[in-house]
Amino acid sequence: MTDRHHLLVHGATFAAVGDRGDISGVRGSGPPDGLFVQDARHLSRWQLTVDGAVPEVLTPVAEGDAARCVLVPRGGRQEPPAHTVFRHQAVGDSSFVESLRVTSNRPVPTTVRLALTVDADFADQFELRSDHRTYVKPGAVRSRDVTGDGIEFTYRRAEWRSRTAITADPAPDAVEETGTGARRLVWTLELPAHGTSELLLRVIARPHGEKRAVRVPRDPAAVHGQRQAREAEFMEGVAFPTGWPELAEACARGLADLAALQVPAGGPDGEELRVPAAGAPWYLTLIGRDALLTSLFALPYRPRPAAATLLALATTQATGSAAPSRVAQPGKIVHEVRHGELAHFGQVPFGRYYGSVDATPLFLVLLGAYVEQTGDTELARGLEPHARAAVGWMLDHGGLTSRGYLVYRADEGGLANQNWKDSPGAICCADGTRPTGAVMAAGAQGYAYDALRRTAWVARTVWADETYAALLEQAAADLRDRFQRDFWMPEHSFPALALDGRGRRIDALASDAGHLLWSGLLDKEYGEAVGRRLLEPDFFSGWGVRTVAAGQAAYHPLSYHRGSVWPHDNALITLGLARYGLHDEARTVAHALVDAASTAGHRLPEVLAGYGRDTHPEPVPYPHACVRESRSAAAPLALLTAVGV
């Protein structure tokens, strides 16, 4: 049996365990296993043996918010298992808990030797990616100290300090060295006839700089209770559609995932906020674009994440250009915030990284939508300086005034593309060739148009600044006129994916055109033509709209952004179709996504492969997708808004 990874997520903490509940710490091309807090691996080994052997899996860990599995000693049909091991694991805030219950299947007393090999390598997540990079860590020291009821691992590098403490009840009979740096906790259990013995293990992770007291859950059952309370809070007051039970299930599953994906962030006055993380395992952190889109999707049903996201992004908004490696410019909204060792020492630029052309306009879009939805003018007044600075960035450093469009350039050491399709090669011509130099991505211009219009409305109704509102409205109208002149490809009746630095059209037919419907940038005639074109068979797979239409040389069904199907992309498209009155088309896309979710416990992954439903009766998974992803979790809520059931 191939040992799969199963994710347990609680805020900024997640664990990835195998089918038998083990953590191997092996570095490979797949997702990492271990216990992670704030980008660092606080458990790299957690491997159980019984009587010196790895037990067989009777019931593997199933997908869910707790890991349960049943293990037995290796044997055959003629020698039934002498005992059975029941494992139950869960994660809390900076913690991991496990109960181990060993039950004898014999009518006589039995002795069982249980051993758990544990280690904490404190690897940064960026070290575990399969990008063949290595990072020098001068002066790094790891230590291991046996305690009365377990062991503590410590990591030091200059001022950086991290700890992982493991305690057991009952305490281990011995703690053995393994010759690898790991330690083996050993118990000798005396089981009466058909008797049971139970161990309770708790892990506390203390990342660098963490000063809060960690409240470790009593046991996995306590975590279950906490999770249910969080989920109930997120679902309170949401009216699920009674006429479409599959959509209702997808909305409920998405809200439950959003409850688990809330991570801490700081506000302008130092207050602690909870904002949507991008996704697990690789992006359990604040990523501006992802948090903004997630909050927009959830806004009609759960406005609190929107307010928290706006405050957190205002707090991290760039005020200068002193850090060119982070692409920071005054007024720009942060793309990514990281808390790990490599970010701390500047070995990766992502401590606060601003390599996004679209987070800034989306910040303004969310602010306007939030005020319109909630009537919370106080927040709009408090964020007025931040909003004006964001508009200033779009007009100045962003390129709207000098180039007519928002512009980005590949960032050496950071991201080559800085729109939502941010993988290398994602912005390309139909033949697959990539532009060089400056890039003006179509979707970002739509966001800018919407941002200008919404901020004009806020300026007029909340800030009482009619002059500023008129200026922004004129800038939006001018952008709309320019865009339809420069981006529209009459030979395709479709907008270009982007313009290059010379103003030439990047002619791949791509799903980004649907974002222009969401933002309202296209005239009605153009918008209707685009909406219907996105439902043609080369675009529409039956599970959603492909990022790049099939039949072009650029298309690949297993490419991250050049032929795959992204739920959040399709959610924006569905909202856009509804905006332009294409309600039948909107329902078609919504049904496709809901059907895809129904094949996987009503959960939408980050991305699906682009294979068609006509030849693949179930969605084909994308091999490296985040299973828990906030934009995908919120996508069913956007579908509910679009179809109005």
CATH number at 111 reads 2.70.98.40
Tell me which of 65 and 562 has the higher pLDDT: 562
In a domain, 258, yes or no: yes
Judged by phi (left if over 0) then psi (alpha if -120 to 50, else beta), residue 432 lies in left
One domain for residues 151 and 36: yes
One domain for residues 173 and 282: no
Q: Computed from CA positions of residues 413, 418, 421, 424, in that sequence, does the dihedral angle turn out positive or negative?
A: negative
What tokens does 362 get? 């989306």
One domain for residues 165 and 302: no
In a domain, 575, yes or no: yes
Band of residue 2 on the pLDDT scale cut at 50, 70, 90: very low
One domain for residues 138 and 187: yes
Band of residue 31 on the pLDDT scale cut at 50, 70, 90: confident
One domain for residues 484 and 388: yes
In a domain, 219, yes or no: no
- Specify whether the CB–CB gap between 1 and 54 falls below 8 A: no
- pTM score, whole prediction: 0.95
Give the 3-state secondary structure of residue 584: helix
Give the 3-state secondary structure of residue 595: helix
One domain for residues 434 and 550: yes
- Specify whether the CB–CB gap between 380 and 457 falls below 8 A: no
One domain for residues 165 and 303: no
Band of residue 212 on the pLDDT scale cut at 50, 70, 90: confident
pLDDT at 414 over 80: yes
Percent of residues, the chain, with pLDDT higher than 90 = 87
One domain for residues 297 and 203: no
What is the arithmetic mean of pLDDT over 193-210? 95
- Residue range of the domain that includes 166: 6-214
In a domain, 228, yes or no: no
Q: What are residue 545's phi and psi, to 5 degrees?
A: -85, 130
Band of residue 106 on the pLDDT scale cut at 50, 70, 90: very high
What is the pLDDT, as a whole number, of residue 3? 57
In a domain, 57, yes or no: yes
Per-residue three-class SS string for 436-505? CCCEEEHHHHHHHHHHHHHHHHHHHHCCCCHHHHHHHHHHHHHHHHHHHHHCEECCCCEECCEEECCCCE
What is the arithmetic mean of pLDDT over 56-82? 86
DSSP 548: B
One domain for residues 258 and 121: no
pLDDT at 28 over 70: no
C-alpha to C-alpha distance for 206 and 154, rounded to whole angstroms: 9
Residue 281: asked if its preceding bond is cis (omega within 30°), the reply is yes
What tokens does 433 get? 């060739």
In a domain, 222, yes or no: no
Closest CA to 46 of 73, 20, 76, 66: 20
In a domain, 423, yes or no: yes
Give the 3-state secondary structure of residue 353: strand
Q: What are the percentages of helix, strand and coil residues in the chain, rounded to 5? A: 30, 25, 45
Each residue of 363-390: pLDDT tens digit? 999 999 999 999 999 999 999 999 999 9
Number of domains in the chain: 2
What is the pLDDT, as a whole number, of residue 217? 86
One domain for residues 194 and 255: no
Average pLDDT for the chain: 94
pLDDT at 322 over 70: no
User: How far is Cα of residue 505 from the mean position of the Cα atoms in its chain?
Assistant: 31
Each residue of 552-604: pLDDT tens digit? 999 999 999 999 999 999 999 999 999 999 999 999 999 999 999 999 999 99
Among residues 146, 179, 214, the one where a domain terminates is: 214
One domain for residues 432 and 494: yes
Percent of residues, the chain, with pLDDT higher than 70 = 98
What is the pLDDT, as a whole number, of residue 75? 76
What is the pLDDT, as a whole number, of residue 467? 98
| Counts for the chain of helices (H) and strands (E), in that order | 15, 27
In a domain, 230, yes or no: no
CATH code for the domain of 246: 1.50.10.10
What is the pLDDT, as a whole number, of residue 25? 83
Each residue of 264-307: pLDDT tens digit? 999 999 999 999 999 999 999 999 999 999 999 999 999 999 99
One domain for residues 148 and 248: no
